[in-house]
């Protein structure tokens, strides 16, 4: 396999927004309880938060964190989760058939965010609630003092407003599984009304309207058009959600999942720009890709599902996928897809963060460890700075059942003029062949390879587990050499690589 690419700062796609490296904490399974929060754990701090998890979240380099759901938010009453803990009600969480104790709410989660250094992105419930409750939550969060709800927040111990900027107008309202699922027309109207009302209260908020739950929804495309026809002038972002999994042993197609994400993003951009043209609008709507990951959904439907009128467990083990090397290569490629569209994808959230389809796993009373997917996220969020560059890739192709002929190599670069630093992120999708990639750097003044790290393994299904937490990791790729302004690097089969040039 061979491929050529060119790094030229003139081929800038757009600035890399740090919000591209966001994540997602939902009240689901063991993400919050027995995940980030486990009072009594040897590493727990005075607030009951696991400091080993805090250190891993910091190392992951997560910017914004979306909270508290997800499907959970469509049945959530935010008032339950504030005030004295002993007075907080236990509620049924219909989305995940669990019991929500409300032991962790807005205040506690904000305290945790301060410890990890991330920004809060809040979702309001537009499934079973409406504009008034969204306004109440915004008043509670962002008004300094002198009103019933802002004073209630202060009485609950938080004098300074939370100052939340990013707000999601509900979650996956196109999905029939969603509590309060609506038609595009109905949702577009309530989203527009709620957005207008929220801006009347706080004009500085940034608002995300729900797009499709996947590019494979029957309403995909039309949903975006109708919703934006109602809400275009009222919002800043439209969301995209996408999950990928290997189906029926078709690894070739799975390894090409990012081509589907590319197509998804480009279709939503085209639809948003169509509405912009029809509206004669001067404003451009960007994408908040606020749920993306590898997720073995079939396993969730067949193994994990909880049922029974008397069976509503607290923090059950749900969606605890264990990720392989192949999963991490696809995952790294999804990050490449987001970066390739940095001009229009200006916010994204990896779904999710701890235990639930997560890069970080924990055992109650025991260790926390990194899944395979931890590595591409941590290194990309660390190195991808400045602007994203189109690399004018020319690569051999292979044939896939799901996506037809697809390049065997995918790549993107970032260029940070201030730091004179260039990074290149690459995947080799071949199951069997090494790839020789030549990277033309002649447009850069000078360049040396500072570091090259590769994720690959002879066993593409190797995983990190409780009993073998360090089985998979990054290893230096020593093949990278620069000669006459050209880097040559060898990529092993089924691999993800980050190249750091100075």
Query: Which listed residue (35, 70, 75, 211) binds ligand AHR by CB under 6 A?
Result: 70
Catalytic residue among 38, 79, 100, 291: 291
Compute how many other C-beta atoms are within 10 angstroms of the C-beta atom of residue 249. Answer: 7
Query: What part of residues 144-183 is at the interface with ligand AHR (CB under 6 A)?
Result: 171-172
- Which CB atom, from 351 or from 360, has the smaller least distance to ligand AHR? 351
- When asked if residue 386 is in the footprint of ligand AHR (CB under 6 A), the reply is no
- Which CB atom, from 140 or from 296, has the smaller least distance to ligand AHR? 296
Show the binding pattern over residues 252-291: x = contacts ligand AHR (CB under 6 A), - = does not: ---------------------------------------x
Per-residue b or e along 270-285, where b marks 16 or more CB atoms closer than 10 Å to that residue's CB: ebbeebbeeeeeeeeb
Q: Does residue 46 have a cis bond before it (omega within 30 degrees)?
A: no
Question: Does residue 407 contact residue 3 with C-beta atoms inside 8 Å?
Answer: yes
CA distance 296 to 320: 9
Shortest reach from residue 129's CB to ligand AHR, in Å: 17
**CA angle at residue 79 from 75 to 85, to 5 degrees?**
110
- When asked if residue 71 is in the footprint of ligand AHR (CB under 6 A), the reply is yes
Site residue total, ligand AHR (CB under 6 A): 10
Shortest reach from residue 177's CB to ligand AHR, in Å: 7
Shortest reach from residue 28's CB to ligand AHR, in Å: 6
- When asked if residue 428 is in the footprint of ligand AHR (CB under 6 A), the reply is no
- Which CB atom, from 202 or from 224, has the smaller least distance to ligand AHR? 224
- Which CB atom, from 133 or from 174, has the smaller least distance to ligand AHR? 174
Indicate if 160 belongs to the active site. no
- When asked if residue 351 is in the footprint of ligand AHR (CB under 6 A), the reply is yes
Single out the segment in contact with ligand AHR by CB under 6 A; choices: 64-72, 268-276, 373-381, 470-478: 64-72
- Which CB atom, from 69 or from 386, has the smaller least distance to ligand AHR? 69
Shortest reach from residue 471's CB to ligand AHR, in Å: 26
- Which CB atom, from 69 or from 332, has the smaller least distance to ligand AHR? 69
Per-residue b or e along 455-482, where b marks 16 or more CB atoms closer than 10 Å to that residue's CB: bbbeebebbbeeeebeebebeebebbeb
Shortest reach from residue 171's CB to ligand AHR, in Å: 5
Residue 393: closest CA among 434, 354, 330, 440: 440
Query: What part of residues 212-251 is at the interface with ligand AHR (CB under 6 A)?
Result: 213
CA distance 118 to 428: 32
Catalytic residue among 79, 172, 224, 246: 172
- Which CB atom, from 213 or from 497, has the smaller least distance to ligand AHR? 213
Shortest reach from residue 274's CB to ligand AHR, in Å: 26
Query: Which listed residue (98, 101, 337, 352) binds ligand AHR by CB under 6 A?
Result: 352
Question: Does residue 252 contact residue 241 with C-beta atoms inside 8 Å?
Answer: no
Shortest reach from residue 350's CB to ligand AHR, in Å: 10
CA distance 228 to 269: 12
**Which residue's structure tokens are 């032991």?**
103
Indicate if 172 belongs to the active site. yes
CA distance 42 to 40: 6
| Percent of the chain that is helix, strand, coil (3-state, to 5) | 30, 25, 45
Using CB atoms within 10 A of its CB, is residue 218 exposed (0-12), middle (13-18) or buried (19+)? Answer: exposed
Give the list of residues 6+ apart from residue 326 with CB closer than 8 angstroms, or none: 246, 251, 254, 255, 460, 461, 494
**Which residue's structure tokens are 């390739």?**
340
Dihedral of alpha carbons 462, 464, 470, 475, sign? positive
Query: What part of residues 290-309 is at the interface with ligand AHR (CB under 6 A)?
Result: 291
Query: Which listed residue (69, 211, 359, 492) binds ligand AHR by CB under 6 A?
Result: 69
- Which CB atom, from 241 or from 429, has the smaller least distance to ligand AHR? 241
Single out the segment in contact with ligand AHR by CB under 6 A; choices: 67-75, 106-114, 365-373, 414-422: 67-75
CA distance 49 to 44: 5
Question: Does residue 227 contact residue 188 with C-beta atoms inside 8 Å?
Answer: yes
Shortest reach from residue 71's CB to ligand AHR, in Å: 4
Nearest-CB residue to ligand AHR? 70
- Which CB atom, from 244 or from 425, has the smaller least distance to ligand AHR? 244
Phi, psi (rounded to 5 degrees) for 400: -125, 150
Query: Which listed residue (26, 34, 139, 457) binds ligand AHR by CB under 6 A?
Result: 26
Locate 81 and state its tokens. Answer: 């989760």
Would you please indicate which residues are annotated as catalytic (active-site) residues? 172, 291
Q: Name the residues that contact ligand AHR, by CB under 6 A.
A: 26, 69-71, 171-172, 213, 291, 351-352
């Amino acid at each position: 396999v061979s491929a050529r690419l060119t790094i030229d700062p003139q081929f800038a796609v757009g600035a890399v927004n740090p919000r591209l490296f966001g994540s997602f904490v939902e009240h689901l399974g063991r993400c919050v309880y027995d995940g980030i929060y486990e009072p009594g754990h040897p590493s727990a701090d005075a607030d009951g938060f696991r400091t080993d998890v805090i250190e891993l979240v910091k190392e992951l380099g997560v910017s914004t964190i979306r909270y508290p759901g997800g499907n959970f938010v469509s049945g959530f009453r935010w008032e339950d989760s504030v005030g004295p803990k002993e007075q907080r009600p236990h509620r049924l969480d219909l989305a995940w058939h669990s019991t929500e104790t409300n032991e962790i709410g807005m205040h506690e989660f904000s305290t945790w965010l301060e410890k990890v250094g991330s920004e809060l992105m809040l979702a309001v419930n537009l499934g079973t609630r409406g504009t008034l409750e969204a306004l109440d939550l915004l008043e509670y969060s962002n008004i300094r003092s002198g009103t019933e709800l802002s004073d209630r927040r202060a009485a609950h111990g938080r004098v300074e407003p939370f100052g939340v900027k990013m707000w999601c107008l509900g979650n996956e309202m196109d999905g029939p599984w969603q509590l309060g699922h609506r038609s595009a027309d109905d949702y577009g109207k309530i989203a527009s009304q709620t957005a207008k009302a929220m801006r009347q209260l706080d004009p500085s908020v940034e608002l995300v309207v729900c797009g499709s739950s996947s590019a494979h929804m029957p309403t995909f495309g039309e949903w975006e058009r109708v919703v934006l026809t109602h809400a275009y002038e009222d919002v800043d972002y439209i969301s995209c959600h996408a999950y990928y999994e290997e189906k029926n042993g078709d690894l070739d197609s799975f390894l090409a999942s990012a081509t589907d994400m590319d197509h998804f993003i480009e279709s939503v951009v085209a639809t948003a720009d169509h509405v912009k043209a029809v509206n004669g609008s001067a404003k451009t709507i960007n994408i908040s890709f606020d749920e993306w990951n590898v997720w073995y959904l079939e396993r969730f439907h067949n193994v994990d599902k909880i049922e029974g009128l008397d069976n509503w467990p607290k923090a059950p083990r749900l969606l605890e996928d264990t990720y392989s090397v192949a999963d991490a290569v696809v995952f790294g490629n999804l990050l490449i897809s987001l970066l390739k569209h940095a001009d229009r994808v200006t916010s994204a959230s990896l779904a999710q963060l701890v235990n639930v389809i997560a890069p970080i796993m924990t055992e109650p009373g025991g260790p926390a460890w990194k899944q395979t997917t931890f590595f591409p996220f941590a290194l990309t969020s660390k190195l991808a700075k400045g602007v994203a560059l189109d690399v004018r890739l020319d690569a051999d192709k292979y044939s896939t059942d799901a996506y037809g002929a697809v390049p065997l190599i995918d790549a993107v670069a970032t260029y940070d003029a201030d730091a004179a630093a260039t990074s290149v992120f690459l995947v080799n999708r071949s199951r069997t062949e090494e790839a020789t990639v030549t990277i033309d750097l002649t447009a850069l003044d000078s360049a040396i390879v500072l570091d090259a790290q590769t994720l690959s393994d002879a066993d593409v299904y190797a995983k990190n587990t409780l009993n073998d937490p360090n089985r998979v990791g990054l290893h230096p790729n020593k093949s990278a050499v620069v000669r006459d302004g050209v880097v040559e690097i060898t990529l092993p089969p089924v691999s993800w690589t980050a190249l750091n040039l100075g």
